[in-house]
Each structure stands twice: as structure tokens, then as C-alpha cells.
Amino acid sequence: MIQYTKLQHKKVLVLGLAKSGVAAAELLHELGAFVTVNDSKPFDENPQAQGLLEKGITVICGRHPEDLLDEGFVLIVKNPGIPYNNPIIEDAIGRGIPVITEVELAYLISEAPIIGITGTNGKTTTTTLLFEMLQRGNRNPLIAGNIGTVACGVAREAAEDNVIVTELSSFQLMGTVAFKPKIAILTNLFDAHLDYHGTFEEYAKAKFAITKNQDENDWLIYNAGQDVVKELASKSKARKVPFYSDGRTNEGISADAATIYWQGEPFIERKIIALPGKHNLENILASLAACILYGCDKNALEQVLCTFTGVRHRTQFVREWNGRKFYNDSKATNCLATKVALDAFTQPTVLIAGGLDRGHSFEELRLSMKNVRGVVAFGQTGERFLEFAKSCGVEEVVLAQDVEDAVLQAARISKSGEVVLLSPACASWDQYKSFEIRGDLFIEAVMKL
């Protein structure tokens, strides 16, 4: 860890706890700052705050005092989920107090280079795949950010010969000032989190923060198939590596139906790849490009590609049973995510869908239902989804009680050679506390068949 001294004996406020706040507070304390933590959860119900108090950190819990900023703080480290219209944040900005997220701290103290991955979709798969490739290629990677451990916690332990692979959200990137990854990856951009950012332009601006400080010594890997991403990439000063999933090109990394190419030359045959779907091909291209820049051995990359079947709950292959292949895509809590999952398969599919009813339409899925032969629906939207499936001409539709019953029904109506896909297009909260629990129960039911 680099011994960053600019905050020594300076007052710093950590706003909001959770994992990132605790890690930031502990790191700042170690760097010699006078740390105050403010969290809305009452102290008696807040074991994280209690642990920080035992270490000598000032803790204010259960309220946000109006005069909190009168203490003379020189910096605020906020939880990424706290919006910028929060009264304390607005007050801090008005006073000229810098507001950052813990990702900025990670950069300031890290001895290891950082690979940052952001985008609307594909971040977790790209991050995980890249980590496994670098690990197989003996590049000593560590994984951090939204997946794995808090970035500044990983950076505390990282050495020069490590590389930190970091998944980054727009919320985290908005709170960066000097952050400058050695390699940045921008997977794609779609409308998302507009309740937080206000407009798509502000959302895209937040994502651009991943490359805004990069220079000619750094790399930007980006999706050249999206005009909005290409436009953002054109503003970066980094060396650029575009990826293309729709045919061979002479620049960057590209793919046609049979082959992946590096700078126009054949690199890897696609038939060895275990992970299905065009969206995953884009994730693979981005990951491969970073590994090539890092000098990983081609054989190591191929070994990962032929065995990697996806991140848990994200078009994750579970097992083959009586000729049917079961996939868990419980993370698909909206129609766009389910559309992407359906488009990944060309085989006849039995779709398991449904969940919390927010009154949203399923029309976005209509064109992607062409290979869906059967639908098993459950949850609050179960009957509504079945009506939609019938309007699409789906051959068999069944209503199930829950995800476990849905597995049994799908096993009954599916045929050998077909895919059974859990991709709910709805949140889980009508029946399950999280999409992870829903996906885990799906996996358990499939394994019991």
C-alpha cells in the first residue's frame, strides 16, 4: 500500500456505512486522518459502527445533524448509493468540500495497476471472466468493486506484481477525481439509473469518468458496435482497442461466426467457447483484449473459455437432464435482460418467467419469443405473462405456484434438445427476498430432478 500522507491529521467524514463505508473508515484511520462516520442506522442496531468506535473512530448514528459539516471536514467519502441531492452532500458541495467514493481512495493507495470495467450490462461477467483468464495466465489478479471485496480494502493488500480487476458502477465513478485505471473497459450504454442521474447524458458522463484521466500510457477497450460508446471513446486520450461482434475487422478485437480475430488475424476458434449468447461474446472480446494487452498465454485463455459457463444467476448453465439444458438467469429482473437471454439461444426454449408486478408491459419481449415453445409462469405477474405468451403463439403455457414448482412443470413439458431458461423479466420481491435466493432455489430444484 502506498502511504498516502495528504490526509494525515485532517478531518474526514464517511457518510453511510455498509461494506464500502467500513472499509473506507478503516483505511482513512490507518492513513492518519481524524475520521467521523455518520450513518442513519441506530448505534444499538449497528454492529459495524460499534466496531469502528472500538478502533477509536468517531461515530454518529441514528441521525444526520444539521450542523454536521461545521466540524471542518476537508473531505467526504460517501456510500455510492447516496444521491447527490442528499442535503448533506448538497451542503458539502456548496461549501466546496470534495465528495468522493471509496474507489478514489483505492486508486490513491494502490501499488498495483487497476483494470476498471463499467457499462450498463455485462460488467459482472466481464469482470469475472477477465479475473479467471488473468489468474490462469499467472498475472496475479485480485478482484474488487461491486463483485468481490471493496476496492480500497483490496488495494490495501495489493502489491506491485498484482493487478486489481474492478467492477465499477456509475454511482462509484461519479465520486472519482484522479482515478486512472491502466486499462478501462466500457461494455455498453443503455438507459439505466435515470432516477439517480436524471438524464441519460448525465449517466453517460458518469460512465466516462472511467477514462477521463487516462493518457497515451493507458488503454481503453470499448464497444465499437454502439454509436454512443464510440462517441464517448473518441473523447478519451487513451490508446483505444475497439471490439466488434458482427464480423472481422483489421483493428482491435473482432469476431465472425467461426473465429475471433486480434488486429485482423485469426486468434481463437469460437467453437471452443462454452458461454452462449451474442451479449456474452462482447464480454469475451473485451476480456480477451485486456488479457492480450497483459501478455497472457493463448493456451491459458482457451482453457478458461472452454470451461467458463457464466456467473451465478446470469445465464448460468446449471446442468443437462434427459437432453434438456437448464440455465439460471434469475438476475434478469426486467424485460431487457430477459430479451438478451432469449436472444442468446437458437434452440427451442421453455421459458420460466414472472415475479413482482410493477404493471410493466412485456411487449419488449415479443420479437425474442420466436424460439419459445413453452412458458411456465409464476408469481404476481404469472397469469399476465401467460396471456402475453399466448398472444405470441407459444405452444404450451403453464401456471406454477413458485420457482420450484416451475422447474417441475418445465421438466414435464420440455423435450430433449431444448433449453429450459429461468429469466423472470420481473423482480423477485413478491415471493423471495432477492434474485439470488430465487436463483438458488431454481438450481436446487434442477439438481433434484
What are the binding residues? 119-125
* Number of CB atoms found within 10 A of residue 390's CB: 11
C-alpha–C-alpha distance, residues 421 and 339, integer Å: 12
In sequence order, what E strands does 231-315 have? 239-244, 253-255, 259-262, 265-269
* Number of CB atoms found within 10 A of residue 176's CB: 22
C-alpha–C-alpha distance, residues 278 and 18, integer Å: 35
Angle, helices 435-448 vs 403-413, to 10°: value is 40
The Cα-based distances of 221 to 99, 252, 340 in angstroms read 28, 9, 22
C-alpha–C-alpha distance, residues 434 and 427, integer Å: 8
DSSP state of 258: S
Annotated binding site for ATP: 119-125
Please give the radius of gyration of the chain, using alpha carbons only, rounded to the nearest integer.
Answer: 23
Within 8 A by CB and 6+ apart from 243, the residues are: 221, 222, 223, 224, 225, 252, 253, 254, 282, 285, 286, 289
C-alpha–C-alpha distance, residues 121 and 124, integer Å: 8
C-alpha–C-alpha distance, residues 428 and 244, integer Å: 34
DSSP state of 115: E
328: three-class secondary structure by DSSP: strand
Cβ(351)–Cβ(365) below 8 Å? no
C-alpha–C-alpha distance, residues 160 and 21, integer Å: 25
Per-position b or e across 361-387, b if 16+ CB within 10 A of its CB: ebeebeebbeebbbbbbbbbbbebbbe
C-alpha–C-alpha distance, residues 199 and 205, integer Å: 10
The Cα-based distances of 286 to 15, 219, 271, 421 in angstroms read 34, 12, 18, 25
